[in-house]
């Protein structure tokens, strides 16, 4: 990255090569005026000197190398994580954001090298697009629809004035204020998404803090330059030096927060997989019991919890007739009926084989029995359509209302006795425990 190299020696001869190896004078000068380093020469054993002068390490070298490579690394890392965790769909938008960011700073590098205004404006477009993708990814992660209208408005009110002050009436300070204001607004949208989480986890709090620092950084950059009193070429050089350093920090900080959130989500997915029955999509026994215990601990005397145990009738004959794939299909259809008919606070599980449980945290005896009857009736119709009239799958139900201070084991035993009473009475019916 050095240029205008001139070699001067006391004489010419074989010792010149020896001199170049053992002794140099290096002057490293940032292109920005006022940022200058000069190291004096040291004599070698022959008393000769070698001087390299007017070497440059420009701010666009920093932007081109540091920021571009850093964003590319984060992009690759995020896309690899997404490839192995497709259920976390928001990761692809975050990975693409860093890919666009890498492209943005690559364009900046050539824009400064070639002193091309069109490339500079294009790089700003890509930078806004990268932060927009980051906002979309975080909105999806929070389970909210991205604010496409607000994102479009921010893009228009930023890129329009930028174009004017880039080509019509060139003004670097105006461009600095406009661009950083747009980036700050995008960061504010991300802050709102994270802030609206009902209960922020520790990693979400870290992400919120990092986004807050990024937003503050965008707002402070123009103020820092205005306060510096720099003007002309010195102002431009100082600004882009600040950009190259601050964007590297912002890029790294945001990526750390994003990766922490993704790691937390991946761990939650692993924990969830251990608690969910894959065939039915309901809790397994390990996932059901802790939640049922919590519901019992919060019981109210006026609305005690209710336990519904249900079993698919003659399930072995269904497996014999339609094979295990047919039996699996019946289990999925029954699970779909449970999800559709049970209230939102119900805790549902497939305890094993063809046996299911529904815990209603607060329910009167009448409403619990009514729910069981509705599930029984709907499933009978759905199952008949599923097997095309070749069989008539049904289900039996046992309902028990929790007594005062009754534990989970006792409640499930009473519901189980009611279930066997339903089966003993001819199946395809609901029995209420005593």
Please indicate, yes or no, whether residues 213 and 318 belong to a single structural domain of this protein: no
Please indicate, yes or no, whether residues 74 and 93 belong to a single structural domain of this protein: yes
Please indicate, yes or no, whether residues 359 and 219 belong to a single structural domain of this protein: no
Quote the number of domains for the chain. Answer: 3
Please indicate, yes or no, whether residues 126 and 269 belong to a single structural domain of this protein: yes
327-333 long-range contacts (CB < 8 A, ≥24 apart) are 328/279, 329/386, 330/383, 330/386, 330/387, 330/393, 331/279, 331/280, 332/279, 332/280, 333/379, 333/382, 333/383, 333/386
Answer whether residue 1 is part of any domain: no
Domain encompassing residue 183: 59-275
Mark 161-170 as b/e (b = at least 16 C-beta within 10 Å).
bbeebbeeee
- pTM for this one? 0.65
Please indicate, yes or no, whether residues 327 and 263 belong to a single structural domain of this protein: no
Give residue 233's pLDDT. Answer: 65
Mark 304-328 as b/e (b = at least 16 C-beta within 10 Å).
bbbbbbbbbbbbeebbeebeeebbe
Distance CA 171, CA 81 (A): 42
Please indicate, yes or no, whether residues 219 and 292 belong to a single structural domain of this protein: no
Please indicate, yes or no, whether residues 29 and 109 belong to a single structural domain of this protein: no
Please indicate, yes or no, whether residues 52 and 71 belong to a single structural domain of this protein: no
Please indicate, yes or no, whether residues 232 and 88 belong to a single structural domain of this protein: yes
Final residue of a structural domain among 275, 295, 310: 275
Give residue 140's pLDDT. Answer: 93
Please indicate, yes or no, whether residues 110 and 244 belong to a single structural domain of this protein: yes
Please indicate, yes or no, whether residues 63 and 44 belong to a single structural domain of this protein: no
Give residue 101's pLDDT. Answer: 94
Among positive and negative, which fits the CA dihedral 149, 154, 160, 163?
A: negative
Give residue 269's pLDDT. Answer: 84
Please indicate, yes or no, whether residues 258 and 306 belong to a single structural domain of this protein: no
Answer whether residue 2 is part of any domain: no
pLDDT in tens, the chain (434 residues): 333 433 343 344 444 333 433 333 333 333 333 333 333 333 333 333 333 333 344 555 665 678 889 999 999 999 999 999 888 999 999 999 999 999 998 898 888 778 889 999 999 999 999 999 999 999 999 888 999 999 999 999 999 999 999 999 999 889 999 999 999 999 999 999 998 877 788 899 999 999 999 999 999 888 877 777 766 667 777 777 777 788 888 889 999 999 999 999 998 888 878 899 989 999 999 999 999 999 888 887 778 899 999 999 989 888 888 888 888 999 999 999 999 999 988 999 999 899 999 999 876 667 899 999 999 999 998 888 777 666 789 999 999 999 888 999 999 999 999 999 999 999 999 999 98
């Amino acid at each position: 990255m050095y240029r205008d190299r001139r070699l001067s020696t006391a004489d010419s001869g074989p010792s010149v090569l020896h001199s170049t190896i053992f002794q140099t004078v290096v002057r490293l000068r940032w292109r920005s005026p006022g940022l200058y380093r000069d190291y004096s020469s040291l004599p070698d054993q022959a008393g000769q000197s070698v001087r390299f002068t007017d070497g440059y390490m420009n701010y666009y070298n920093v932007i081109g190398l540091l920021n571009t490579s850093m964003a590319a690394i984060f992009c690759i890392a995020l896309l690899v994580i997404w490839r192995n965790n497709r259920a976390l769909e928001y990761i692809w938008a975050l990975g693409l954001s860093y890919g666009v960011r890498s492209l943005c700073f690559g364009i900046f590098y050539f824009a400064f090298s070639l002193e091309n205004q069109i490339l500079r404006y294009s790089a700003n477009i890509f930078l806004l697009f990268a932060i927009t993708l980051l906002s979309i990814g975080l909105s999806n992660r929070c389970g909210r629809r991205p604010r496409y209208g607000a994102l479009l408005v921010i893009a228009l009110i930023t890129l329009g004035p930028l174009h004017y002050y880039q080509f019509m009436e060139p003004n670097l300070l105006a461009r600095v204020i406009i661009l950083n204001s747009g980036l700050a607004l995008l960061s504010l949208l991300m802050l709102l998404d994270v802030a609206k989480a009902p209960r922020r986890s520790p990693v979400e709090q870290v992400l919120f803090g990092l986004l807050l620092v990024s937003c503050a950084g965008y707002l402070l950059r123009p103020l820092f330059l205005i306060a510096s009193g720099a003007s002309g070429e010195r102002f431009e050089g100082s600004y882009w030096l600040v950009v190259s350093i601050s964007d590297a920090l912002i890029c790294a900080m945001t990526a750390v927060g994003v990766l922490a959130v993704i790691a937390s989500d991946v761990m939650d997915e692993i924990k969830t997989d251990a608690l969910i029955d894959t065939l039915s999509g309901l809790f397994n026994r390990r996932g059901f019991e802790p939640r049922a215990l919590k519901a019992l601990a919060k019981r109210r005397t006026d609305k005690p919890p209710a336990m519904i145990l249900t079993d698919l009738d003659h399930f072995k004959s269904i497996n014999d007739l339609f094979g295990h794939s047919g039996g699996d299909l019946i289990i999925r259809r029954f699970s779909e009926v449970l999800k559709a008919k049970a209230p939102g606070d119900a805790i549902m599980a497939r305890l094993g084989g063809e046996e299911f449980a529904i815990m209603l945290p607060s329910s009167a005896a009448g409403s619990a029995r009514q729910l069981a009857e509705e599930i029984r009736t709907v499933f009978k119709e759905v199952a008949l359509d599923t097997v095309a009239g070749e069989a008539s799958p049904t289900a039996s139900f046992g309902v028990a209302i929790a007594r005062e201070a009754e534990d989970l084991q006792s409640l499930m035993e009473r519901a189980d006795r009611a279930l066997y009473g339903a089966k003993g009475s001819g199946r395809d019916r609901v029995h209420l425990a005593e």
